[in-house]
Structure 1
Amino acid sequence: MNYRLKDLPEELLPRERLYKLGPEALSNREMLAILLRTGVKGENVLDLAERLLADSGGLAGLARLSVHELSQLHGLGQAKAAGLKAALELGKRLASADPASRPVVNSPQDIAHLVMEEMRHLDREHFRVVTLNTKNHVLGISPISVGSLNSSLVHPRECFKEAIRRNSNAIILVHNHPSGDPTPSREDIEVTKRLADGGKILGIEVLDHVVIGDNRYISLKERGIL
């Protein structure tokens, strides 16, 4: 059912939730909906925001697109694309201006908190690498592949490229299970061990592999696999 925003209770509307609870309480979908302001025919702004995140591979995927590429996405014209690109660029500048404000990862729960709300709704497996500095500050979250997890899609060269570029001390692997069940598969375990071996050669430690389900996660480090 394609509900209209005006049919929702006021306390569930993104802008009202932001005023009442603050931006920290909102999902990426809700924040994006506030920036977009309006939906398109047959799709309210929350649905539009969810589709754009899913089709682009999340916020990181949207941030990689040029303003021209954004304007070509269904539901975005030049005005919305320009506003969205400006907001994403401001976020990047803020993060680079104050390294101390970057999230710190001390546990699998910290990683889950960073990506859960976005990745739990994806309809395909997305594999990402979280790069960390020596103090475990997050330097970035890089998309590696989309599709079923296997060794051909997840190549060590791609996984460690951003870590080397950012002079990262360690990385954490993250991917989602669209089924909602984060139980690691045989392929998950094989890929994890392969990448951990590659990290040893490069001197970049693979600290963990966190599998995201529907509001659940499993750490392969906690399972004793790493």
Structure 2
Amino acid sequence: MKKIKKHLTMKELPVTERPYEKCEKNGAGTLSDAELLAIILKTGTRGDKVMDLAVQLLNLNPSCPGLEGIMGIELADFQKIRGIGRVKAVQLAAVCELSRRMSRIQFSESYAFTTPQSIADYYMAYMCRLGHEEVHVMMLDTKQHMISECLLTKGTVNASLIAPREIFIQALKAGAVSIVLVHNHPSGDDTPSREDLAATEKVRSAGELIGIRLIDHIIIGSGHFTSLCGSWNH
């Protein structure tokens, strides 16, 4: 006979430990990170209360425990925790993506990206905790409003292999006047490598020939960034 797996629900928790009740009584702002996650998870597993499951989730990324660490976790990695299956993993991934998008609400179509900090602020929440490397290209108009952006490469990226041709095909299609390269270092160290510097110069030179200026190349680390160009004069 198949063993029936018993889940511990919110109702099985003592009243004082129920995040739903605490939220209703005192507001969501009074809940801990674990309690907020417990509301999303809803149930635990045999032997693990839902709050225990939430704590395990917060410690899933050993290099960066807590909510920041969760932001960089892939869908499949959520399911490594016993009690988090396909549905819960998708729900968690959706919450993380909503958080990233909400962090960008301030960047309306009329927002002008005029400093390295403004670029870093736009990408930081998404890129600073990724477990893999990504290279993004931001396309800007004459007033440095973003026309569009694209993901150029994803995975283990060798910056020396960044192809100016692909970058400027996208920039020309978008009608961009200038571009910004952005990529992350999964190690959290935003110190540029020789390859990063070489790739920056290669793209900058190609842009001069085409007439599309490379304003900057931003490297995102763990909560901080490096600007390789700083060509922010208008």
Kept in 1, the 8 Å contact 2:41–2:88? The answer is: no
Residue by residue over 1:66-95, the C-alpha shift from the partner in whole angstroms, topping out at 9 and shown as x without a partner, is xxxxxx999349xx99x99xx8xxx9xx9x
Offset of residue 119 of structure 1: 0.7
What is the TM-score when the length of structure 1 is the normalising length?
0.59
Runs of 4+ in 1 over 4 A off after TM superposition: 5-8, 37-47, 49-56
The amino acid across from 1:148 in the alignment is: V
Unaligned runs of 5+ residues in structure 2 are: 1-9, 11-16, 46-52, 61-66, 76-85
Say which of 139, 143, 153 aligns to 1:135. Answer: 143
The aligned residue for residue 24 of structure 1 is none
Q: Percent identity?
A: 28
Taking structure 1 as reference, are residues 73 and 107 closer, same or farther at Cα in structure 2, changes over 3 Å only? farther
The amino acid across from 1:127 in the alignment is: V
- Alignment size in residue pairs: 173
Structure 2: how far apart are the matches of 1:54 and 1:215? 16
Give the CA RMSD over aligned residues.
4.4
Residue by residue over 1:21-61, the C-alpha shift from the partner in whole angstroms, topping out at 9 and shown as x without a partner, is xxxxxxxxx9xx99xx55898876988x97786549xxxxx
Kept in 2, the 8 Å contact 1:131–1:172? The answer is: yes
What is the TM-score when the length of structure 2 is the normalising length?
0.57
Q: Does 1:194 align with 2:202?
A: yes
Q: Does 1:175 align with 2:183?
A: yes
The aligned residue for residue 126 of structure 2 is 118
Offset of residue 118 of structure 1: 1.3
Q: Does 1:75 align with 2:89?
A: yes
Query: 3-state SS of the aligned residue for 2:152?
Result: strand
Structure 1: how far apart are the matches of 2:144 and 2:116? 12
Taking structure 1 as reference, are residues 121 and 159 closer, same or farther at Cα in structure 2, changes over 3 Å only? same
Pick the structure with more helix per residue. 1
Taking structure 1 as reference, are residues 205 and 222 closer, same or farther at Cα in structure 2, changes over 3 Å only? closer
Offset of residue 221 of structure 1: 1.6
The aligned residue for residue 16 of structure 1 is 28
Offset of residue 126 of structure 1: 1.0
Structure 2: how far apart are the matches of 1:16 and 1:208? 40
